[in-house]
Chain A
Amino acid sequence: MVIAAIAIARIHDLFAVVMLTGIFSLLGAAAYVVMDAVDVAFTEAAVGAGASTVLMLGTLALTTSKERPAPAKNVISALIVVVFTGVVLIYGTLDMPIYGDPMAPIHHHVADHYLGKSSAEVGLPNVVTSVLASYRSYDTLGETFVIFTAAAGVLAILGQSRLPRRHHDQEDSEKGMVSSPEKSKGAST
């Protein structure tokens, strides 16, 4: 995954970058399976690696697929910020429980209740599903609102292409109109 991320940062052909992003998501999904999060891996492989790659390819088709190299001034200041933030974050991890520790506080707040009682209270063997749909259903409702808002936003942004523009002509606005149903469909998966 680190190699894929480095390649994403270095390559200037946006088509290759988008494909690498898909690979990056897929590697992430594999990592989720290794760490027992099978439901998350499903979602990541379908939505992260699938739908968002399609959305990005659609955007590339509507815009351009070449990138200019980043100016040196930007690169240096970005490196300084990133190294500083990274060191602070790694310093923060020193206080964290070690990987896979069953006594970590995160595993003994509500997780015990979910694992012990959910089959009696909800009746589903998959604990992730019963937490998602029952204990935290307001969360899921909120998520649905977010997706609806995003879809409405995409339609509002791309549906307005008839407004006066500076550099492009009617042809581009028609392309913009064509893309909008595809985008909203992707957003609601």
Chain B
Amino acid sequence: MEQFPGLIPYWVIMVLMMMGLYIVIAHGNLIKKIVGLNVFQVSVFLLYITMAKVEGGTAPILAEGIKLYSNPLPHVLILTAIVVGVATTALGLALVVRIHNAYGTIEDEEIDKLEDQT
């Protein structure tokens, strides 16, 4: 535990991640589930960016007189992931609209009930 204060950023991120997971599991509303996925996603991005930070470093843009930069690789990976994340969100929301058209509700349980009736 000697590294205790240095790990707090990771712990905050873990708490955020678990909030996202909780929203996905506990709520029956499909839009709420997608929002939960988004929260989870942003926390994962934060985890990567946290790992890229170097104490005393600056943004990875080369300039005269600066010796220490943060790690650019996680930034690149997350840049890709953000855009892909929005694409998947759009697809999920399209499915929600389609489900609403078909069942008239976006609550998980009501959809189950309607399925049982038929």
Instruction: Give A residues with C-beta under 8 Å from B.
Output: 1-2, 5-6, 8-9, 14, 17-18, 21, 24-25, 28, 31-32, 35-40, 43-44, 47-48, 51-52, 55-56, 58-60, 62-64, 67-68, 70-71, 74-75, 77-79, 81-83, 85-86, 89-90, 93-94, 96, 98-102, 104, 106-107, 110-111, 114-115, 118-119, 125-128, 131-132, 136, 139-140, 143, 146-147, 149-151, 153-154, 157-158, 160-161, 165-168, 172-173, 176, 179-180, 183-184, 186-187, 189
Contacts and interface: CB of A to CB of B under 8 A. Distances in A.
Interface string B74-88: 111111101111111
Chain B interface, >50% SS class: helix
B65 to A, nearest CB: 13
Interface residues of B, number: 89
Given A64-B106, A187-B87, A176 B19 contact: no
A41 B89 CA distance: 19
A31 B9 CA distance: 11
B96 A59 contact: yes
Given A14-B32, A114-B72, A55 B83 contact: no
B70 A82 contact: no
Contact of A36 (B20, B38, B70, B105): B70
Contacts of A44: 42, 45, 82
Nearest to A102: B54
Given A85-B21, A168-B104, A68 B71 contact: no
Nearest to A139: B80
A67 B32 contact: yes
Interface of B: 1, 3, 5-12, 14-23, 25-29, 31-32, 34-36, 38-39, 42, 45-46, 49-63, 68-80, 82-91, 93-98, 100-107, 109, 114
Given A35-B50, A100-B55, A131-B76, A187 B90 contact: yes
Contact of A119 (B1, B35, B58, B62): B62
Closest 9 CB pairs of A and B: A98-B6, A100-B55, A150-B87, A167-B104, A78-B26, A78-B25, A36-B70, A5-B19, A86-B18
A9 B100 contact: no
A157 B20 contact: no
B72 A131 contact: yes
Chain A interface, >50% SS class: helix
Given A37-B75, A48-B42, 17 more contacts: A5-B19, A43-B82, A47-B82, A52-B89, A56-B93, A99-B55, A101-B6, A115-B69, A119-B62, A126-B60, A157-B97, A161-B98, A165-B102, A167-B104, A168-B104, A176-B98, A183-B94
